[in-house]
Amino acid sequence: MEISFSIIFVGILVFFAHFFAWLFKFVRIPDVLLLMCIGILIGPLLNIVPPDFLGEAGDLVIKLILVMILFEGAIKLKFQHLHRAFVGTFSLMLISFFLTMGGIGLLLYHFAGFDIVPAFLIGAIVGGNAAAVVVPLIEKIRINEESRTTLFLESGMSDVLSIVFAFALVASLEVGVFHIDTVFFDIIKTLIMAIIIGSFSAFVWSLFLNKIHNIKNSAFTTPAFVFIVYGVTELLGFSGLVSIIFFGIVLGNIPLVVFSLQKKHRFISTILHPQPLSIRELSFFCEIVFLIKIFFFIFIGLSLNFESMPILLLGLLLTVFILIVRIPAVLLSVPKSAAKFDASVISVTIPRGLAAAVLAIIPLQRGLEEGQLIQDVTYSVIFFSVLFTSTFIFFLYKTKIRKLYELFLPGFSPNPEDGSAEYPIEEKKNDF
């Protein structure tokens, strides 16, 4: 009987997810926030589903979900938008990360009584945005493609900074030494190698797609190869997430790659015949990602700990700080050609997610004295950062906070529809 109720509940969730996506067009409340609230309701509040209901397979399932979300988002990016957004993306990623890590580290050290290394460790863990939260959100808001690309790339690549600095700080807690030169070398090496692996794998896969398209029931072969690329990259010690981003980007732009080959290397282009993904495959991936993101955001809600009010309050204060330092990061990095509304959206997009949750577990697993505290503070920041991002995007549409944010962000271009009450959003095929 319990299994029957569980299956019914899953079906109801899918219908609710479609309804929430449709509802966003009218009330501008992001569906990710509503899905998180369902997770909080059935988890910490009512204890219907325990946080560890997935058991030891939980981390694997969540990582597979993140890989699929990143791949589906990356394959929509176009080279012309990447070219214009790349410099701004790296500037935003670096400035936002170091302002967050440095500021939180100093705040926790001077005002919260933390030792200096654990303080900066928390800052590193929550320093980068969560792609699994950012990607579904930006797909529902009509902003310029360069701004959308900036947010996507930043959320995917900032994990590298968080991972490298977090591991370096954990190691310094264990051995008492922190090597800054080694950290920066690891970051550069990880990024470059992940980009090479992802891009090369995408081109190789495109050569096989022509034959694979002739195989019956082959729609899931590309995601299967994506999982392999992610796993191999991680085994080699580089960032699997970055490799998947560039795998998707190259595969999504294969027609342009083929055109470039034909112009520069006519002999090679007569031998090689790269193929893009079919419309059927792209549609299939969109549907899969729509379904799996439901359970990802519910899982975030399930994982929250509401037992300690001081920890919750500390997480709230740290999230407010992240929101504040995001404004100078945007002012210093985002091109002034961006619309004021775009700059405002980038400023309030501060969600933390899977990478932070996974990194927060490591100090506890290593047996460090502050491990449990680090995990609890991080989980609190994850909750409030997703809550703030969702609600502030709602406020940008529905309240005068949009005008207030535009005062804090001078110098950006006028909005395309200046004077209107709200911006239109894109129609999605999977809306209710």
Query: Domain boundaries in the chain?
Result: 18-408
The Cα–Cα gap between 131 and 136 comes to 9
Residue-level pLDDT at 429: 44
Pair 74, 131: CB distance under 8 Å: no
Q: Is 227 helix (H, G, I), strand (E, B) or coil?
A: helix
pLDDT at 431: 39
| CA–CA separation, 202 and 222 (whole Å) | 10
Low-confidence ranges of the chain (pLDDT < 70): 1-2, 27-28, 30, 51-59, 81, 174-181, 217, 257-274, 305, 417-432
Does CATH place domain 18-408 in 3.30.413.10? Answer: no
The rounded distance, in Å, linking the Cα atoms of 55 and 88 is 40
Burial of 264 (0-12, 13-18, 19+ CB in 10 A): exposed
Asked if residue 242 lies in contact with residue 198, where contact means CB atoms within 8 angstroms, the answer is yes
> What is the four-CA torsion angle of 26, 30, 34, 37, rounded to 10 degrees?
-140
The 10 Å CB-count burial string (b at 16+, else e) for 47-70 is: eebebeebeeeeeeebbbbbbbbb
Predicted pLDDT at 200:
92
Residue 95 CA to residue 254 CA, distance in Å, equals 32
How many Å apart are CA 406 and CA 423, to the nearest integer?
15
391's tokens: 């609600």
The DSSP bridge partners found for residue 413 are 339
The first and second tokens of residue 410, run together, are 């001078």
Q: Are 374 and 311 in contact (CB under 8 A)?
A: no
Q: What is the sign, positive or negative, of the torsion defined by CA atoms of 299, 301, 306, 312?
A: positive
Residue 188 CB coordination number (10 Å): 11
Please say whether the dihedral angle defined by the alpha carbons of residues 389, 82, 406 and 347, taken in this order, is positive or negative: positive
Contact yes or no for 14/294 (Cβ under 8 A): yes
0.85 exceeded by the pTM?
A: no
